[in-house]
Chain A
């Protein structure tokens, strides 16, 4: 593998699908920010200070997850509408680099919003130096998990309308419904158990633990990290091995 070449390919994809479109259509940055900020606003109207802090953590996790899932629409659009993926397949770029490049380009849209959420968390005194590694790890794993899931699904779907529907559904199931924006303790027992299947629940638990919004035992922390890692590694392998790059 030629690292310099891979970096150039990633740079090209980020520029063409992320930075240049953002500069020419900055409204997208506001769109990215509007969803989590609206939720935080409503939560701040009705709930406690602690709930607002939980919502801020949830917003960061949700933004990373949605950024990964947003890959689905772009991959299908580039493949079906523009036939750009055909040009990429018949070129030296690998599917993994292509996926990563497009995923990073999606992250370019979410980055300002995530940065703002982080600033708000710092202003509220939520983040300490010691909490940063676990927060970053949770966010990165969420992003990688959602990216792999998004890329795998997008290579199996040929109609853009289907992917819009699927993307919206997954967004709700992975980032809205589970205890990401709110505390897991608010859920009834059966729902709590059910939510533990979802990787974003564990990312939220770990990040909330890092900022002392909840207190996980070492065992619980290890379990959450293991589940999150298992999801991420499994989906990354599936995306790398089972995604359709060359058509059959």
Chain B
């Protein structure tokens, strides 16, 4: 079954800003799905529409088979959200946040208490359980919000940049919890700036730019969208950019030149050329970040 489906979704805000331009997307149940995009690409708008917080201008959307406009009540029983830039209440403890949020969703106090203790332990927040949120660091506060959403055990979790501000270890703890939730059948729809996050925990990924969906699928499927398999990175001040085009597609990013290559033969030739020019070069397989830069970069400058 499809967890989230959008058909030609359009959102035009008051003032005429087009945030979504005919976005059609489908997310299977029980997977971790990441929506990638630059700031202002339309990620949050899409998430908020599907999470029934915002009405679309046109198009259709379905969450677990329910229409996002006419059946929002049924959807809200089955989802939970962490909004971007949300903050906990400083005057409540970590446990109180999770427990009261569950009670607000209708859970009995005992069950809410047990569930909150469990998720607090899973997210490594045990030592802060009775600490007021005003005394927590920014990253820990973000983790409290993740705990609130996770504890709901909702069928779909919409997480808008859930790991922003977390240290690397905390990010991995959150990833673990997200993946565990997915293994137990929950669907996770998240937006993120972090390519490594999307690459590591997502089953499927979509890339959005200026309100338009550029690509969607598994990482392997996305990599097939480009003929390139390898990339080389060269400092831009050490070589003339025109001389590199015979080895592959060349992109200048600040002080770096990126060369995308289709095969190992091209990389061997480029390697020899760089040796002859006494220029440092680094080769690596194509990553999601490269794919993102290529797709978004092409759209940005085309």
Binds A, one of B31-39, B47-55, B196-204: B47-55
Contacts of B77 in A (CB 8 A): 92
In the complex, which residue of chain A has the Cβ closest to the Cβ of B81?
A90
Contacts of B283 in A (CB 8 A): none
Contact A24 B103 (CB under 8 A): no
Contacts of B109 in A (CB 8 A): 8, 11
Contacts of A86 in B (CB 8 A): 48, 53, 81, 83, 86
Contact B52 A89 (CB under 8 A): yes
Contact A91 B104 (CB under 8 A): yes
Contact A83 B87 (CB under 8 A): yes
Contact B100 A87 (CB under 8 A): no
Number of A-B residue pairs having CB atoms within 8 Å of each other in the complex: 103
Binds A, one of B89-97, B252-260, B261-269, B289-297: B89-97
Q: Given contacts A82-B88, A92-B76, is CB(A87)–CB(B55) below 8 Å?
A: no
Interface bracket on A: 20 to 34
The 0/1 profile, CB within 8 Å of B marked 1, for residues 65-90 of chain A is 00000000000000001111011111
Contact B55 A90 (CB under 8 A): no
Q: Given contacts A9-B104, A16-B96, A86-B86, is CB(A91)–CB(B53) below 8 Å?
A: no
Contacts of B132 in A (CB 8 A): 24
Compute how far the CA of A45 lies from the CA of B102 in the bound complex, rounded to whole angstroms: 51
The 0/1 profile, CB within 8 Å of B marked 1, for residues 1-27 of chain A is 010010011011101110011001100
Compute how far the CA of A233 lies from the CA of B250 in the bound complex, rounded to whole angstroms: 68
Interface bracket on B: 35 or more
Contact B79 A90 (CB under 8 A): yes
Interface flag for B208 (CB, 8 Å): no
Contact B86 A90 (CB under 8 A): no
Q: Is the interface of A mostly helix, strand, loop or mixed?
A: helix
Partner of A247, one of B54, B91, B92, B100: B54
Q: Given contacts A21-B91, A82-B88, is CB(A90)–CB(B51) below 8 Å?
A: yes
Contact A90 B52 (CB under 8 A): yes
Interface flag for B80 (CB, 8 Å): yes
Compute how far the CA of A88 lies from the CA of B149 in the bound complex, rounded to whole angstroms: 11
Interface flag for A248 (CB, 8 Å): yes
Interface flag for A246 (CB, 8 Å): yes
Interface flag for B158 (CB, 8 Å): yes
- Min CB distance B275 to A, Å, is 54
Contacts of A21 in B (CB 8 A): 89, 91-92
Contacts of B82 in A (CB 8 A): 87
Compute how far the CA of A146 lies from the CA of B77 in the bound complex, rounded to whole angstroms: 30
- Min CB distance A1 to B, Å, is 11
Compute how far the CA of A20 lies from the CA of B48 in the bound complex, rounded to whole angstroms: 30
Contacts of A9 in B (CB 8 A): 103-106
In the complex, which residue of chain B has the Cβ closest to the Cβ of A22?
B91
